[in-house]
Amino acid sequence: MTKKALCIGINDYPGTGSDLSGCVNDAGDWASTLAARGYAVTKMLDAQATRAAMIDAMGKLISGAQRGDTVVITYSGHGTWQPDSSGDEPDGRDEALCPHDITTRGALLDDDLHTLFTNHAQGVRIVLISDSCHSGSVTRGDESDLDPGMPRARFLPPEAWMPADRLPRSTARPTVLVSGLARSGGDLLLAGCKDTEYSWDTRFNGRPNGAFTYYALKTLKTLPANTTYSKWVTAIRSYLPSTSLPQAPQILGSTTAKKWKALD
């Protein structure tokens, strides 16, 4: 049995005017945590995370896994959407991750992810941890760690990267990245927010991070070694959503997968 992880963090989005600040730190923090738990970790940061490189790295990691192996992929960066061209989306939109070269090579669509995440052997555990996208209205939670003057939404509107002649008539609605990833065939998805919300790029004690990543790793340190993914997400929800960070972390997968030991 092997444990492998890919940690992607993209702050730099050339040509969009929408750079982020906490995603590279997120990737490093996830990588350190996973390495300490016995994972062989690859990091992909900023210019390394092109569309082609992301597809290649994810594809090799997933297709190369064998029964009993565990694969964890973390993504911190923008989410977006574009008009559906294949007719498989009820809302007429393909949800997507945003690679570094999105303005020249386009987004990494949920259709692409579906192809990648269904190409694995039986008995392989795949966990996706997505700290990107979406806005909500619930007000509760502990904000004592949060620096003032923050945060920023991790959502890249189509008009920031898509040619004008391809833009849909309305671009007001946020992408539904959560459902896009959930239907891609992964065994378990941990997401920073509901599909009607944003995940937030912010700063804690002077250091940039994604809100979901920060609280996920903060709570993980306090939980027993045999904590399940379900109990982990419950602990994260003691912090999120809050007044300044209106995002509700989500866990999607089978009942069995939710009971796996977190990052085991």
Q: Indicate which residue of 7, 23, 98, 133 is catalytic.
A: 133
Burial 193-227 (b: 16+ CB within 10 A, else e): bbbebbbbbbbbeeebbbbbbbbbbebbeeeeeeb
- Rg of the chain on CA atoms, in Å: 17
Phi, then psi, of 178 in degrees rounded to 5: -55, -50
Helix (H) / strand (E) element for 182: namely: helix 177-182
Residue written as token pair 């378990």 = 188
CA dist 105 and 204 (Å) reads 33
Give Cβ neighbours of residue 135 (< 8 Å, ≥ 6 apart): 153, 174, 196, 197, 198, 246
Measuring CA to CA, which residue among 71, 72, 59, 55 is closest to residue 123? 71
Report the relative pairing of strands 70-76 and 125-131 from DSSP bridges.
parallel
Residue 100 appears among annotated catalytic residues:
no
Catalytic residue among 78, 100, 120, 134: 78
193 a catalytic residue: no
Residues with active-site annotation = 78, 133
